[in-house]
Structure 1
């Protein structure tokens, strides 16, 4: 097949260290004031956030403080290369880096959102005078965008709180780039607003390089970063395509659980009854949380699956619902050497390499599809 259109990974000049300093440090210095202790909440290794680069700018200030890192893992794995995560100056201080454990850490009750989520957060949040949040903003298929408020829910929340919040992903307004009336976003925002703490937020936009940055309070920095993310990551197409090829890069390519984001980001470009080709290494297969995969096999009928997940929701079930809905009228090919090359799921096939196909010309290729999104 030959491509009619290719959406490359964004090529844009990154911000220099001087530009980052100019945009961050004046507000940061004012925020520090008479700070006695600082909790630094950062993303885990499943995100491309350039945390170490930001920390290098703040190093002269942080090293003078009583500080602690809290890695906002949500329910992700707690394994990470500390040097890549926080940089060579902070990595040796392992005792100052705590990986959030949603099941085992001590939590405190913050309150209940208007949507009914009971918010429990990591107790470390209570123990420090001020909080620094370093995050990144990119499209998210049911929270609209990552970053900002996600540092708390789901980042540093109890498993029960995360599960209640993520069940809202079954709502039709919980979708890509949609903040309006999105219950997942509303729930997350309300949880963050309940927290009566002095918080400084730095939100980056980009992939391995910082293309934009916003700093200040949690809400304002998030909104400004979202505005930049819309310009950098979202693409509006003139028409739909018969075939969409989505290429997924690390760290999102490691499991199908994560690589699935590329489908949600780019499915809007596909014509009805089209073929979506997802290329990802999936070196770890489906992923540890494979319940969604089992549900897809157990409930071939989409309506039955939706009823089951609505009544008996377990964290991750929304993923099965999204994929099942897509497969009602479309085909999904997963190209991976690390997944079994067969599937009993209707309209879903797995190949170790892209098979020979007809000379289809109505093809869209999206590079870095876990971050680039079609609207």
Structure 2
């Protein structure tokens, strides 16, 4: 007998067949098949009407003329066609004459193109509203707000700092070093300077034992982010939870910390799973938009690492149709062996952190201990130059893994490595 598993890949899917005698288990969020009584708009509207820890947004907007809504870029699956119109309506309910700027929190990513904006927000909103891409690399755009717990200056986009009211939308998912996405991340790294983000993402911070998926308390990276959000006076957030179809299944509004934590607690109860250890682990980065480039893929990889036995083979399935995702990342990944890269990064002082080295750090750590087969659209020569094994298909990757670990090797499959939080066994 064979078991069939669907793996998200770009905007499509891959069907994989695994012999049932080899299949150790399939890890999916416990509530992945849960149905919800409310439609997506109603879930968001209900949350807007019942904020956590703050007044309603329409009340906060009264008398506020310069309003900024921070939203996510093309690398995130925020359903802004649903959420953004409801946010705009709620603000204008409190102040119809407010001047509203929608700031796209790119962090250190490239800015969104007009086509990407249209695809994300809809042509109607793009033509009517004022959308601005954040640019982390233009030093003239920032205002220093103070010092963060890490010792870094808190440099935030002046568009945010000069606003009368700052609002953010996003979604909450597991994050491999910030604990969870959403909430405070809209401000930092979303609208922060390159230098500010680099120190927050330093080798020391990434290596901290609490800088892991599903952990906020004691997480130095989260502490910096939350402090920055408070300094920037982020007054109201709308964060949603999504199912495997990228549909809204829950929404949380209100105070930056309280509403975000409520959503994180709910997600942990839904997405937390016990590890199934195996000789071969197959994972993905959840398909589009997070598998557009390799830079984002430590997220899906982190779940696989929690299930990998010593010396296991990991198969990472990610389209990477947008390439590697960053010039520094691409260069560094080919500058030495995984051990050489890790040693160099760990010896880099926080203030000398190079943008994107944090993903090199996580890949290097994994490649030192495991053979990783990459299934993507990247060229074979590039894949091998970065220390991965190459496979043109998932089937081919699995056959390579069997050749390494034996035909009776047990296989754990994580169809969406970003959607689960694999709990560490005590």
Q: Normalised by the size of structure 2, how large is the TM-score?
A: 0.80
Counterparts of residues 226-305 of structure 1 (less than 5 Å) = 226-237=264-275, 239-248=276-285, 249-291=287-329, 294-295=332-333, 297-301=335-339, 304-305=343-344
Match of 2:133? 99
Which one of 362, 365, 372 corresponds to residue 413 of structure 2?
365
User: Which residues of structure 1 form unaligned runs of 5+?
Assistant: none
Take 2:59 and 2:91, find their aligned partners in 1: how far apart are those partners? 14
Shift in alpha-carbon separation, 1:175–1:289, aligned structure 2, 3 A: farther
For residue 214 of structure 2, give the secondary structure of its aligned residue in structure 1.
coil
Take 2:149 and 2:143, find their aligned partners in 1: how far apart are those partners? 19
For residue 104 of structure 2, give the secondary structure of its aligned residue in structure 1.
strand
For residue 343 of structure 1, give the secondary structure of its aligned residue in structure 2.
helix
**Are 1:13 and 2:49 an aligned pair?**
no
Quick check: 150-159 or 174-183, which moved more?
Answer: 174-183
Shift in alpha-carbon separation, 1:307–1:23, aligned structure 2, 3 A: closer
Counterparts of residues 146-185 of structure 1 (less than 5 Å) = 146-167=181-202, 168-185=205-222
For residue 380 of structure 2, give the secondary structure of its aligned residue in structure 1.
coil
Match of 1:343? 384
Counterparts of residues 151-230 of structure 1 (less than 5 Å) = 151-167=186-202, 168-195=205-232, 197=233, 199-207=235-243, 208-230=246-268
Shift in alpha-carbon separation, 1:114–1:281, aligned structure 2, 3 A: closer
Match of 2:108? 75
Runs of 4+ in 1 over 6 A off after TM superposition: none
Shift in Å, 1:328 = 2.4
Shift in alpha-carbon separation, 1:57–1:194, aligned structure 2, 3 A: closer
For residue 369 of structure 2, give the secondary structure of its aligned residue in structure 1.
coil
Match of 2:172? 137
Aligned residues: 371
Shift in Å, 1:269 = 0.9
Match of 2:392? 352
User: Which residues of structure 2 form unaligned runs of 5+?
Assistant: 1-17, 51-55
- How far does the alpha carbon of each residue in 1:245-282 deviate from its partner, in whole angstroms, 9 at most, with x for none? 01230111111111232112331011110011001111
Quick check: 186-195 or 114-123, which moved more?
Answer: 186-195
Shift in alpha-carbon separation, 1:30–1:266, aligned structure 2, 3 A: farther
Asked if structure 1 preserves the Cα contact closer than 8 Å seen for 2:111 and 2:133, the reply is: yes
Match of 2:8? none
Which one of 337, 355, 359 corresponds to residue 315 of structure 1?
355
- How far does the alpha carbon of each residue in 1:168-225 deviate from its partner, in whole angstroms, 9 at most, with x for none? 2233331111222211111111112223x36111111115111111111111111111
Match of 1:60? 89
Asked if structure 2 preserves the Cα contact closer than 8 Å seen for 1:343 and 1:350, the reply is: yes
Asked if structure 1 preserves the Cα contact closer than 8 Å seen for 2:293 and 2:324, the reply is: yes
**Are 1:374 and 2:422 an aligned pair?**
yes
Take 2:220 and 2:131, find their aligned partners in 1: how far apart are those partners? 32
Q: Normalised by the size of structure 1, how large is the TM-score?
A: 0.91
Take 1:242 and 1:290, find their aligned partners in 2: how far apart are those partners? 32
